[in-house]
């Protein structure tokens, strides 16, 4: 790798980390706005999405420029391809954080009721998954990336289990339907964010170890022997 390419790759890595930080803060604020019914905070999340979109476009342009000008190979090419994919996943997480925040205004207009599933645990797991996926990328930590992938199953389990619980409560309290449906939507958005965080973790594994873990997994190193 030339020194110039090394500088550009390091710059790209910093851009991805910065985007991850902004997206993570927006997700935290979106979840907080739902829990506290803070409409002002939810609107802050919605307004911040423009910044995330701009950062996503800038990173994509940087990746394409590096591939066109330097024609990278091996680990350099893998990093740029992984960065493109992570960039897309982070932008989608930003969109989903907006979707969560958009539920806050309606929730704030309804009488609070007890949510019949562990929303706090679910949201905290998803927030930790995103933080750990970005840390795994920063440190090139495969073990941490695999922890993120494993946590996705736990989030899926919570998401699937709460449908029955909500249905039972709505049967007893029809007047709570709209409120609980909003929380069902938030749960669905959180489950999708967990999927995107898992994608990032899988890209870290691919970047460091050359192993594709999606769709059952293919070990590129063993295939090359």
| DSSP H/E element including 225 | none
pLDDT at 114: 79
pLDDT at 210: 73
Residue recorded with tokens 């709209």: 178
Q: Is 94 exposed, middle or buried (0-12, 13-18, 19+ CB in 10 A)?
A: buried
pLDDT at 215: 53
pLDDT digits (tens, 9 = 90+) for 141-185: 999 999 999 999 999 999 988 888 888 888 888 888 888 999 999
Question: Is 3-224 a CATH 1.20.58.220 domain?
Answer: yes
Give the residue from 107, 103, 99, 197 showing the smallest Cα distance to 156.
197
pLDDT at 98: 98
Burial 201-221 (b: 16+ CB within 10 A, else e): bbbbbbbbebbbbeeeeeeee
Domain boundaries, the chain: 3-224
| pTM for the predicted model, two decimal places | 0.89
pLDDT at 3: 79
| DSSP H/E element including 216 | none
pLDDT at 225: 35
3-state SS, residue 213: coil
pLDDT at 69: 83
Residues of the chain with pLDDT under 70: 1, 72, 211-225
3-state DSSP of the chain:
CCHHHHHHHHHHHHHHHHHHHHHHHHHHHHHHHHHHCCHHHHHHHHHHHHHHHHHHHHHHHHHHHHHHHHCCCHHHHHHHHHHHHHHHHHHHHHHHHHHHHHHHHHHHCCCCCCCCCCHHHHHHHHHHHHHHHHHHHHHCCHHHHHHHHHHHHHHHHHHHHHHHHHHHHHHHCHHHHHHHHHHHHHHHHHHHHHHHHHHHHHHHHHHHHCEECHHHCEEHHHHHC
């Amino acid at each position: 790798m030339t020194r110039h390419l090394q500088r550009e790759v390091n710059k790209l890595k910093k851009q991805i980390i910065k985007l991850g930080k902004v997206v993570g803060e927006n997700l935290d604020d979106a979840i907080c706005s739902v829990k506290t019914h803070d409409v002002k905070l939810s609107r802050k999340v919605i307004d911040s999405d423009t910044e995330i979109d701009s950062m996503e476009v800038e990173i994509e342009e940087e990746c394409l420029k590096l591939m066109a000008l330097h024609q990278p190979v091996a680990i350099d090419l893998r990093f740029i391809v992984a960065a493109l994919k992570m960039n897309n996943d982070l932008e989608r997480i930003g969109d989903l954080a907006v979707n969560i925040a958009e539920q806050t205004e309606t929730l704030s207009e309804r009488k609070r009721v007890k949510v019949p599933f562990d929303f706090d645990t679910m949201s905290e797991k998803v927030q930790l998954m995103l933080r750990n996926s970005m840390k795994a990328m920063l440190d090139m930590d495969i073990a941490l990336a695999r922890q993120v992938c494993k946590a996705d199953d736990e989030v899926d389990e919570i998401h699937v289990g709460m449908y029955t619980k909500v249905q039972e409560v709505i049967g007893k309290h029809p007047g709570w339907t709209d409120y609980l449906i909003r929380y069902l939507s938030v749960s669905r958005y959180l489950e999708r964010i967990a999927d995107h965080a898992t994608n990032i973790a899988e890209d870290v594994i691919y970047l460091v170890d050359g192993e594709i873990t999606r769709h059952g997994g293919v070990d590129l190193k063993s295939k090359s022997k």
